[in-house]
Structure 1
């Protein structure tokens, strides 16, 4: 499943990108304004105040931008960029709040008589910005490769889901070329080719992963009853890590 040239994430990005572009054409050029969320449910008097044509153009162009970002992300994935899916999501989380604030100019009902934005609108926009900002920070944090440090008595993994494995608890250290098949996520981060946290393997066993898929080899070991799988940015670094953990376990 993981060795497919085109991953499920790539298909999702491509399909979503094409859909965004199609919706952009529908709103901007075909004037299907009923597709604009909330527009049809507006009171008639409020709808009359909206610059419908300007709003349609703006939303159409925004959908074109989202579609282009998604198609660009899928192309980067096909060309081998490990975290293209996450980078695409991060880019969208940056542009969405900017657009949401900017597009308010087309609806005069969002402003007071003096031209200032209403407090209620500011509150809603603030929530959107905070939510997107938090999500962007979370994704950015997840993109940081784990720093694995082997000392005289432990193996420490930094970053999201990071932990420390004591030397006396480590056993069955292996270096494998094929990543065990993952059945499902049980408590971790699953985005693009990045897998961090807890996942159930095809064998039915839960494993703690710190891996980027399609980047062999992989270090596998047990921390008492826990199965742990780690790899690094390149094969040489992973091989060196395997040797260090293996030597530590043999002490």
Structure 2
């Protein structure tokens, strides 16, 4: 519930920005325009830029909201929505350059290309590492969950290990990774504020639940179904 409220607030902010820029001519909200000289501003078709900037804000709000709803209730990865969002943003930014008749240097164009490439690269790398499965290593004195956001659970801190069919309702991610669908790993908080650690690859149970003195850990995998008692 908290995550949906947070997403809704972000969407409303983008809609308000879109209306303010395109309808109420709040051109000072457009990055870089205020810092231009009068001569430079005279060479900018600011009304057309504002119109397209407003449309871009509306599309961003729409994609964020639809992506959040689809990923939460249909357990579909949010990655396609993020890629589409980035394409729209950079596409609009490049397209709107045609309404700015000030001469652009090669370095300015190169900076935009490099920023776009770095953004896509970081996104792909993040999703690649985040989607890797965390292996469980059983030792005499500890259980080690390796990989990204991994943890070592000491034997003396473990109170119980069992199978459960469901996990509690997740409130939000505090320090972890989520693809917006089934995959979640790292530190999360439940809707009641309780801290848990998730290493979840599928939205279908059962899950291994490891209760420790400080928090609960939930684990499952896409292709492994646990049907034996955990002792």
TM-score, normalised to structure 2's length?
A: 0.68
CA distance in 2, matches of 1:75, 1:205: 24
The match for 1:179 among 148, 167, 174 is 167
For residues 217-232 of structure 1, what are the structure 2 equivalents within 5 Å? 217-220=206-209, 229-232=218-221
Unmatched tracts of structure 1, length 5 or more = 1-6, 112-117, 151-156, 164-171
Task: Determine whether 1:88 maps to 2:81.
Answer: yes
Give how far 1:206 is off: 7.9
- Give the gaps of 5 or more residues in structure 2: 138-144, 152-159
Q: Which residue of 2 aligns with 1:169?
A: none
SS at match of 1:92: helix
The structure 1 residue matched to 2:5, chosen from 6, 11, 15, is 11
**How many matched pairs?**
220
TM-score by length of structure 1 reads 0.64
Residue 108 of structure 2, aligned match among 89, 106, 121: 121
Could you give the per-residue CA deviations for residues 188-236 of structure 1, whole angstroms, max 9, x where no partner exists?
A: 324645422456899x9985x32168644311359xxxx8632234xxx
Structure 2 partner of 1:34: 28
The aligned runs of 1:1-251 (5 Å cut-off) are: 7-77=1-71, 80-83=73-76, 85-111=78-104, 118-141=105-128, 144=131, 146=133, 173-179=161-167, 188-190=176-178, 192=180, 194-197=183-186, 207=197, 209-211=198-200, 215-220=204-209, 229-233=218-222, 240-241=225-226, 243=228
Task: Provide the residue aligned with 2:155 in structure 1.
Answer: none
What's the CA shift string for 1:33-83, capped at 9, x where partnerless?
1221221122222111111112111111111211221222233246x1224
Compute the RMSD of aligned alpha carbons.
4.3
Residues 84, 192 of structure 1: 8 Å contact kept: yes
Which has more helix, going by share of residues? 1
